[in-house]
Chains A and B, each alone.
Chain A
């Protein structure tokens, strides 16, 4: 019974978060956004005290049900290990806690969190790892599928489904996601919750509380026949049944209730066990000095890649003599310029603040309807998002990323507030500008939503060229996106360190 409830609750949660991470319609986050916000690490980074306290209390009362129900990576592993072991009669057996690895990783993680080495944080955190896999590996399949149906919908004149471009936002992040998937699948296929109990820093953190949980699965020594049925079916491999001893390591138990289902003698019960001796052989029962929040740190040695915008000057588009009718001129795809300061979304107070809070879960990347956000390839903020404008710009009416961000890296903003965030400043590179040779353009000025681009006389050419009023520019990228110079725009946005 308990197991059934756990499975259904877990499936609902897992499905909800997975859909949230794949959704492109912008509908789901209104209903499911909270599922991301109750994830442990995002709540820590968002300093969401309510959620942290609730999760700690939940663990103190019921044990690590978080790992079995709320954590999408945990549920995913349960699925994989079910595939790997459901045919086997003796799928698992007790394993000793790998203390050095478990606490070693945890200490490393806390240090990384405090020091602001977010690459490591994003790499290890379970929610980030899961988001990364869904956005990089599952969303493309989902979109291809939807695009396939879209062709059908188009034929039937339906507009319910519309085509979305599927593109790789960052190769390193894609490869890391693939690596993550392989590691998780390999570990869980036969090993159950090995990842959760040896690597996952959130699992380790919760284990500090779960070992004192008020409710736990307890073995009634009088009824136990030491048949090992529970041990052999414990995914966490934390039940040790000896000849006449029976022990459960509650620091590793994720409350999946498989053991209770397996026991034919009714010896296992999930019941009140407050204050009872912890039967775990754990040494670390001191929970003092828990640093659940890491939020100092510096960051950003701001890679001043003194790379100038050394871009090849485009040939003034030869208005070559038109000979025949029809056809299309080639439109080169845009290339991203080098940005000395990365651009982070409106709603982030500063670049530093953004990267300090972000866990790289890819939720905003998956949701961005304008194809602006993508994971950075810069080593310092690998997998954490940044903005670029080759496929779209940050549209004035859109605040989607600020609505979905679970960590507070992007604070919720209203669209009216968007102009208050100066996320970047545009610069004109006259050597690339099509107006330089006298062509009438002014596209950037026309598209600028804040009127920051001032057209001035192009001396001797009889037309006008753009200049930027830095104070008015908000860095939305409309000018860069619409600039007809290709592949590199003649007007490009550089990030601003402080946004408001």
Chain B
């Protein structure tokens, strides 16, 4: 099914109609008080804000011992602001931010009435998947989040490895029946999963749903205007397929990586110009969020907001929400095609690959490299104009961004990271590509 077809079928028309008067082509900034869009969960009637707070990218500071800790003060401020502006969905995991995310979320959220927000967390038993450790992880989440029930509980990142991997992590250790019992006891209100994998792997989970063996209350998928039809398509399914399958079954969808870890907020200059020509007063990121919100089956779009600035910008986007027109969707499709022409690394800075046992700063290296490409400060040949300036800028900024012992040239290619990457990046190959690029810069052999 094509994107446009099912938008029509699936009732986007209703939303579009509601917003129709505002949809002037000149698109002046919307007037009036902001009103966070709420989506109703058809299963249980939850009124969920279309913007959800992803708790994976909170700011870290150094404590007295030099250890990285979450900046709780900043988190409290952001959470208060978010709740005051209608955000009511908070998504965390025991694995995020070196295991500190849940606790910080609990600190910030417990200052508000429990019924004023929904908590989503996950069974992130990537390491020890024994029943004891898995149950302990589940129980610990209650303590960290200072609650006695979870609104949304997810099997964290399933898909890759298909049925076998799923069985190992959740079936053989008895966690599925355990969680079902917990749901029956009211401690889990919605049971779902987050997905990274291929079409075939996804089909297996839909099959479980169809047969009634495991009914999913909701599902979290990676969706944005690039992954819509430009995911690698082999090991990572395109989002248009995943959306259609879930929509068909009426399963509410939570969206992750709407911005690809910020890459869709900081796009190459040529693409940014085209967006600004259309919406001079809207941020580049707002396009990505409007894309997600345009689809009616989407319950919530998670954004891992690192500071007040993106939070305020997102609240502006969703507070005066304007779904995309068909013409605008076509435009984003063209932008996605153009973006694929840049040699970017598909990293979303989720840090699942970290810590690298050899100390490499994998996301830091990729982020720095992507930034240079996006910003056009990327030397392509030693013959080009400004080569010396670009070379120095790249090398100096790399040294500033990543400590030299953690740079790409130290990767030994052990491949431990490979299985952790939800984006399926060939991390050692990409690191070597960047190390070679840098070596060529140093030797002027580019």
Residues of A within 8 A of B160 (CB): none
Known: A154-B400, A317-B357. A397 touches B412 (CB 8 A): no
Classify chain B: how many residues form its interface, as a range.
35 or more
B95 CB within 8 Å of chain A: yes
B355 CB within 8 Å of chain A: yes
The smallest C-beta distance from A273 to any residue of chain B, in angstroms, reads 55
Distance, CA A317 to CA B414, complexed state (A):
11
Contact A323 B356 (CB under 8 A): no
A396 CB within 8 Å of chain B: yes
Instruction: Give the number of chain A interface residues (Cβ < 8 Å).
Output: 31
Contact B412 A443 (CB under 8 A): yes
Among A35-43, A306-314, A326-334, the one that faces the other chain is A326-334
B34 CB within 8 Å of chain A: no
Residues of A within 8 A of B393 (CB): 159
Contact mask for chain A residues 377-419; partner B; CB cutoff 8 A; 1 contact, 0 none: 0000000000000000001110000000000000000000000
Distance, CA A295 to CA B356, complexed state (A):
53
Among A71-79, A85-93, A423-431, A433-441, the one that faces the other chain is A433-441
B354 CB within 8 Å of chain A: yes
Chain B residue with the shortest CB-CB distance to A434: B412
The DSSP consensus for interface residues of chain A is loop
Distance, CA A21 to CA B372, complexed state (A):
34
Contact A441 B412 (CB under 8 A): yes
Contact A324 B400 (CB under 8 A): no
Residues of A within 8 A of B443 (CB): 396-397
Q: Out of B127, B361, B432, name the residue touching A322 (CB < 8 Å).
A: B127
Distance, CA A496 to CA B96, complexed state (A):
51
Contact A323 B126 (CB under 8 A): yes
Q: Out of B355, B395, B399, name the residue touching A329 (CB < 8 Å).
A: B355
Residues of A within 8 A of B356 (CB): 328-329
Distance, CA A331 to CA B403, complexed state (A):
11
B413 CB within 8 Å of chain A: yes
Contact B413 A441 (CB under 8 A): yes
Contact A322 B358 (CB under 8 A): no
A447 CB within 8 Å of chain B: yes
Contact B94 A324 (CB under 8 A): yes
Known: A159-B397, A163-B400, A396-B443. A325 touches B357 (CB 8 A): no
B350 CB within 8 Å of chain A: yes
The smallest C-beta distance from A85 to any residue of chain B, in angstroms, reads 46
Residues of A within 8 A of B280 (CB): none
Residues of B within 8 A of A162 (CB): 392, 395-396, 399-400
Residues of A within 8 A of B357 (CB): 317, 319-320, 329
The smallest C-beta distance from B446 to any residue of chain A, in angstroms, reads 12
B352 CB within 8 Å of chain A: yes
Contact B127 A321 (CB under 8 A): yes
Contact B355 A440 (CB under 8 A): no
Contact B350 A325 (CB under 8 A): yes
Residues of A within 8 A of B416 (CB): 319
Distance, CA A329 to CA B359, complexed state (A):
5
Known: A163-B399, A397-B442, A397-B443. A327 touches B355 (CB 8 A): yes
Chain A residue with the shortest CB-CB distance to B390: A159
Residues of B within 8 A of A441 (CB): 412-414
Contact A482 B410 (CB under 8 A): yes
A360 CB within 8 Å of chain B: no
A484 CB within 8 Å of chain B: yes
Q: Sorted from nearest, which 3 A-B pairs have the closest CB atoms?
A: A321-B127, A331-B359, A324-B99
Can you pick out 20 interface pairs between chain A and chain B where the beta carbons lie within 8 Å of each other?
A: A159-B392, A320-B357, A322-B355, A323-B95, A323-B126, A324-B97, A325-B97, A328-B406, A329-B356, A329-B359, A331-B358, A331-B405, A331-B406, A397-B443, A434-B412, A439-B414, A440-B412, A441-B414, A446-B413, A482-B410
Taking A323-B95, A324-B98, A331-B405 as known contacts, 11 extra A-B pairs with beta carbons closer than 8 A to each other, sorted by chain A number, are: A322-B127, A325-B97, A325-B350, A325-B351, A326-B355, A327-B355, A328-B361, A396-B443, A441-B413, A446-B413, A482-B409
